[in-house]
């Protein structure tokens, strides 16, 4: 599939020289980043033009890039304080938008990511569009182009609060009737805001603020130390050895029974 | 004259034919459906958000609970996504085991589908027949992973352990003894592979049994032929995959078109429907069960001849064995780090799709280089299929909605995630 992917990237580059940026396929699928203003126009071209013919929108989801590349655990210096250095740090749901961590080189917070599939050419494409405004993220709706976007956009609206302009029926889909907030945002706590229980005195189901403490057992760590370098060399050698071993139908078996 | 208004009806959330917690608000004109509005999310467990708060390895178990009729196929998508980002490839024996268990899973899913669809449309016997075979599939799951349904068997880098040498057997009870006991243990004398082989050789005859009950059955055909017709262009437009596109006559199968695991090494056919109605989807699923049996036999054959590792030897990602851990300080450290902190996955994003029994199950994984996924999204086939409910049912009779819901093959674990 690599050959076709290369030709796809070339075709994309020559067809959309402006307002989009193309990243080559690192893990199989090239990514097309489209400006919000060109979103509908480019998508329509991707569906209708013979060279692309992406007839199906397989998948669409929202992504919240808040806290991208941030870790909770200081890995550079060891301290005597042990686990405390992890617990005290910023974690999902423990910060608000005002005291947000640096988002690295990410320009905007909310993005819509969709995966397209071309049945005629047998290839996939990932398209991404950043919403310009992070307080009220608005992205044009793709329902008119691919009708399968309907529920996916409702889901992204429900979970991330991304508003899809021109969507025919933008209701919540996953959360409870009468839910407030957008639970998959990175500043929405994992434990939620309200708990529901049956109150035997009032004889009805009530909502009340959650009482449990947020507790994430394993801190988020980003390691760039020696363990993660020269990996590829080891890897290639390892998998090559594996392959040879299997081909020769080696006698050792049942290696892993821990 | 009195004003005639359409009647609005709630179908579910607790309805035996709703296949779980589907609330369908139906607007009816007499018995004809004017509008269908599915309300989903009653089983929403925020799996994707939970996965963001855990190291990569610890979410494999959640994947079993997505589409709880085809557990290992879901795991396969997630595990493949992690492997993509890590740039590792499991050893061939693990790949064959995965291929085999994907097909066992496909068989079990379609088996349950034919059972429950039959039940929905008033055919009780096929349900009882199918559960007879399903029991054996559950036993295979149990033999290999220890759990009958939620296996947690696939891991990044391979599968948890090799296939067992001995199959568990029935013991004598007051109800199972003598000749009966001997019959039930007949296939279980040898290893798991012997059991799977005996099963896969026997299964085409069992499928014939289901077919004698249904394929030419007058009532069955009256309930399914010409119901819920999906033209091929609509099928693509509405985001269909798997049996739903194949039933409409499009030859599309991820296993053939974008092969993963060992699907390019095994020989199988992709059945395709003609009319795109419920009956065609039934025929496609029946044929897929036969093809699964074919693939299983090929895998059994290969696995017998090629012993070897089922996990990569890579201590950065895969924990060492128990013996190594007790013996070697370095291995102990790796073991400790992998089970407390997990491993960091290089920054990047990937989309890994597998042909799950219900359609394309995909995993979109974004990593920022941490030991937990930054964002993980699961593309569940049932979600796309259900979203077209309104278009599919409009103009049909109320009773046909049941047939349509049934052949969409919905499971709310994956629709709601």
Instruction: Assign B191 to helix, strand or coil.
Output: coil
User: pLDDT of B69-93, one tens digit each?
Assistant: 888 999 999 999 999 888 888 999 9
Please report which residue ranges of chain A form alpha helices under DSSP H.
2-15, 39-48, 84-87, 149-160, 231-247
Q: What is the pLDDT of residue B108?
A: 92
pLDDT bucket at B378, cuts 50 / 70 / 90: very high
Identify the residue with better confidence: A33 or B96. Answer: B96
Is A242's CB within 8 Å of B53's CB? no
Q: What is the pLDDT of residue A2?
A: 43
Q: Would the pLDDT of B270 be above 60?
A: yes
Identify the residue with better confidence: B252 or A73. Answer: B252
Is B383's CB within 8 Å of A253's CB? no
Identify the residue with better confidence: B358 or A92. Answer: B358
CB B303 within 8 A of CB B193: yes
Q: What is the pLDDT of residue A1?
A: 46
Q: Would the pLDDT of B330 be above 80?
A: yes
Identify the residue with better confidence: B164 or A96. Answer: B164
User: pLDDT of B292-326, one tens digit each?
Assistant: 999 999 999 999 998 888 888 887 888 888 888 89
- CA–CA distance, B363 with A200 (Å, rounded to integer): 43
Q: What is the pLDDT of residue A257?
A: 39
Please report which residue ranges of B266-311 form alpha helices under DSSP H.
278-305
> Could you tell me which of A233, A2, A23, A228 has the C-alpha nearest to residue A128?
A23
Sign of CA dihedral A139, A145, A147, A152: negative
Could you write out the three-class secondary structure of B29-52?
Answer: ECCEEEEEEEECCCCCCCHHHHHH
**Residue A254, Cβ neighbours under 10 Å: how many?**
13
Q: Which of A128-137, A235-244, B215-224, B395-404 has the lowest mean pLDDT?
A: A235-244
The whole-number average pLDDT for the span A36-63 is: 88
Q: What is the pLDDT of residue A251?
A: 41
Q: What is the pLDDT of residue A33?
A: 85
Interface of A with B in 53-82 (CB under 8 A): 55-59, 61, 63-64, 68-71
User: pLDDT of A109-136, one tens digit each?
Assistant: 889 999 999 988 888 888 989 888 777 8
Question: How do beta strands A123-130 and A31-34 pair?
Answer: parallel
pLDDT bucket at A219, cuts 50 / 70 / 90: confident
- DSSP single-letter state for residue B171: P
The whole-number average pLDDT for the span B319-334 is: 88
Q: What is the largest CA-CA distance in chain A?
A: 72
**In chain B, what percentage of residues exceed pLDDT 90?**
30
* DSSP string computed for B144-156: HHS-SS----EET
Q: Would the pLDDT of B43 be above 80?
A: yes
Phi, psi of A235 (to 5 degrees): -60, -50
Phi, psi of B297 (to 5 degrees): -65, -40
- CA–CA distance, A175 with A154 (Å, rounded to integer): 11
Which residues does B242 contact at the CB level (< 8 Å), separation at least 6? B355, B356, B357, B358, B359, B360, B381
Q: What is the pLDDT of residue B308?
A: 86
Could you check whether the bond before residue B94 is cis, i.e. omega within 30 degrees of 0? no
Q: What is the ipTM of this complex?
A: 0.87
From residue B283, how far is each of A143, A200, B67, B276 by CA, in Å? 32, 52, 22, 11
From residue B340, how far is each of A45, A218, B371 by CA, in Å? 48, 7, 10
The whole-number average pLDDT for the span B156-165 is: 89
Sign of CA dihedral B98, B102, B104, B105: positive
- DSSP single-letter state for residue B362: E
Taking CA–CA distances from A69, the nearest residue in chain B reads: B368
Please report which residue ranges of A62-106 form alpha helices under DSSP H.
84-87
- CA–CA distance, B253 with B75 (Å, rounded to integer): 19
Q: What is the pLDDT of residue A258?
A: 35
User: pLDDT of B201-259, one tens digit each?
Assistant: 999 999 999 999 888 889 899 888 988 898 998 899 898 998 999 989 898 999 988 88
> Could you tell me which of B287, B264, B253, B270 has the C-alpha nearest to residue B356?
B253
* Å between B383 CA and nearest CA of chain A: 8
**Residue B33, Cβ neighbours under 10 Å: how many?**
26
- CA–CA distance, B229 with B284 (Å, rounded to integer): 14
Asked if A196 reaches chain B (Cβ–Cβ under 8 Å), the answer is no
pLDDT bucket at A246, cuts 50 / 70 / 90: low
* Å between B250 CA and nearest CA of chain A: 9
User: From the list B88, B322, B368, which residue is nearest A239 (CB)?
Assistant: B88
Taking CA–CA distances from B304, the nearest residue in chain A reads: A249
Could you check whether the bond before residue A142 is cis, i.e. omega within 30 degrees of 0? no
User: From the list B40, B46, B321, which residue is nearest A183 (CB)?
Assistant: B46
The whole-number average pLDDT for the span B32-50 is: 88
Token code pair at residue A74:
């200081």
Q: Would the pLDDT of B105 be above 90?
A: yes
- CA–CA distance, B130 with B151 (Å, rounded to integer): 21
Q: Would the pLDDT of B273 be above 80?
A: yes
Q: What is the pLDDT of residue A233?
A: 45
Token code pair at residue B31:
């018995």
Taking CA–CA distances from A57, the nearest residue in chain B reads: B239
Mean per-residue pLDDT of chain B: 88
Mean per-residue pLDDT of chain A: 75
Token code pair at residue B285:
């699923």
User: pLDDT of B335-344, one tens digit each?
Assistant: 888 888 888 8
Asked if A232 reaches chain B (Cβ–Cβ under 8 Å), the answer is yes
Token code pair at residue B249:
């006559």
Q: What is the pLDDT of residue B204?
A: 92
Q: Would the pLDDT of A224 be above 90?
A: no
Q: Would the pLDDT of A230 be above 80?
A: no
**In chain A, what percentage of residues exceed pLDDT 70?**
68
- CA–CA distance, B102 with B304 (Å, rounded to integer): 18
User: pLDDT of B184-204, one tens digit each?
Assistant: 888 888 889 999 999 999 999
Taking CA–CA distances from B335, the nearest residue in chain A reads: A258
**Residue A183, Cβ neighbours under 10 Å: how many?**
20
Q: What is the pLDDT of residue B11?
A: 82
Q: What is the pLDDT of residue B184?
A: 85
Is A29's CB within 8 Å of B350's CB? yes
């Amino acid at each position: 599939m690599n050959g076709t992917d290369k030709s796809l990237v070339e075709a994309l580059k020559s067809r959309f020289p402006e307002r989009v940026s193309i990243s080559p396929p690192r893990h199989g699928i090239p990514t097309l980043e489209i400006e919000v203003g060109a979103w509908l126009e480019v998508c329509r071209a991707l569906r209708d033009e013979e060279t692309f013919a992406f007839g199906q929108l397989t998948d669409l989801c929202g992504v919240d890039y808040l806290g991208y590349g941030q870790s909770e655990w200081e890995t550079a210096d060891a301290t005597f304080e042990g686990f405390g250095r992890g617990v005290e740090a910023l974690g999902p749901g423990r910060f608000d938008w005002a005291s947000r961590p640096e988002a690295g080189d990410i320009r905007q917070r909310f993005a819509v990511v969709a995966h397209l599939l071309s049945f005629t050419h047998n290839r996939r494409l990932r398209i991404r569009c950043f919403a310009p405004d992070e307080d009220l993220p608005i992205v044009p709706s793709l329902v008119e182009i691919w009708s399968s976007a309907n529920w996916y956009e409702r889901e992204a609206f429900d979970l991330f609060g991304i508003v899809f302009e021109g969507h025919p029926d933008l209701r919540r889909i996953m959360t409870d009737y009468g839910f407030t907030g957008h639970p998959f945002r990175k500043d929405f706590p994992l434990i939620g805001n309200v708990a529901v229980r049956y109150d035997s005195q009032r004889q009805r189901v009530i909502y009340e603020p959650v009482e449990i403490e947020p507790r994430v057992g394993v801190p988020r760590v980003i390691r760039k130390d020696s363990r993660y370098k020269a990996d590829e060399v080891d890897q290639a050698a390892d998998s090559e050895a594996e392959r040879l071993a299997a081909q020769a139908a080696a006698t050792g078996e049942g290696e892993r029974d821990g | 004259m009195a004003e005639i208004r359409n009647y609005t009806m709630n179908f579910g959330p607790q309805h035996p034919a709703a296949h779980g917690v589907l609330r369908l608000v139906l607007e009816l004109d007499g018995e004809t459906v004017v509008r269908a509005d599915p309300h989903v999310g009653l089983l929403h467990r925020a799996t994707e958000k939970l996965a963001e708060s855990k190291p990569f390895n610890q979410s494999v178990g959640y994947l079993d609970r997505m589409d709880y009729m085809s557990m290992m196929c879901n795991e396969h998508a997630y595990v493949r996504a992690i492997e993509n980002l890590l740039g590792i490839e499991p050893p061939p024996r693990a790949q064959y085991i995965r291929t085999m268990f994907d097909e066992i899973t496909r068989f079990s899913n379609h088996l349950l589908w034919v059972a429950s669809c039959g039940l929905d449309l008033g055919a009780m016997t096929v349900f009882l027949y199918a559960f007879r075979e399903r029991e054996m599939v559950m036993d295979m799951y149990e033999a290999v992973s220890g759990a009958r349904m939620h296996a947690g068997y696939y891991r990044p880098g391979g599968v948890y352990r090799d296939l067992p040498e001995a199959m568990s057997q029935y013991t004598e009870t007051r109800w199972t003894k003598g000749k009966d006991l001997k019959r039930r243990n007949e296939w279980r004398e040898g290893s798991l592979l012997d059991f799977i082989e005996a099963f896969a050789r026997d299964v085409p005859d069992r499928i014939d049994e289901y077919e004698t009950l249904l394929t030419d059955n007058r009532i069955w055909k009256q309930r399914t032929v010409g119901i819920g017709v999906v033209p091929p262009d609509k099928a693509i437009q509405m985001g269909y995959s798997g049996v739903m596109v194949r039933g409409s006559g499009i030859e599309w199968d991820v296993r053939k078109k974008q092969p993963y695991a060992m699907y390019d090494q095994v020989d199988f056919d992709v059945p395709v429907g003609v009319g795109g109605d419920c009956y065609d989807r039934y025929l496609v699923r029946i044929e897929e069960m036969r093809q699964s049996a074919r693939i299983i036999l090929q895998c059994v054959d290969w696995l017998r001849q090629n012993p070897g590792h089922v996990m990569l030897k890579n201590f950065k990602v895969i924990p060492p064995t128990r013996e190594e851990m007790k013996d070697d300080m370095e291995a102990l450290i790796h073991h400790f780090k992998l089970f407390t902190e997990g491993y960091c996955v290089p920054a990047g994003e990937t989309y890994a799709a597998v042909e799950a029994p219900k359609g394309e199950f995909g995993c979109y994984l974004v990593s920022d280089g941490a030991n937990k996924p930054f964002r993980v999204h699961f593309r569940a086939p049932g979600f796309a299929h259900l979203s077209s409910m309104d278009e599919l049912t409009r103009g049909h009779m109320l009773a046909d909605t049941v047939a349509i819901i049934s052949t969409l093959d919905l499971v709310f674990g994956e629709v709601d995630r």
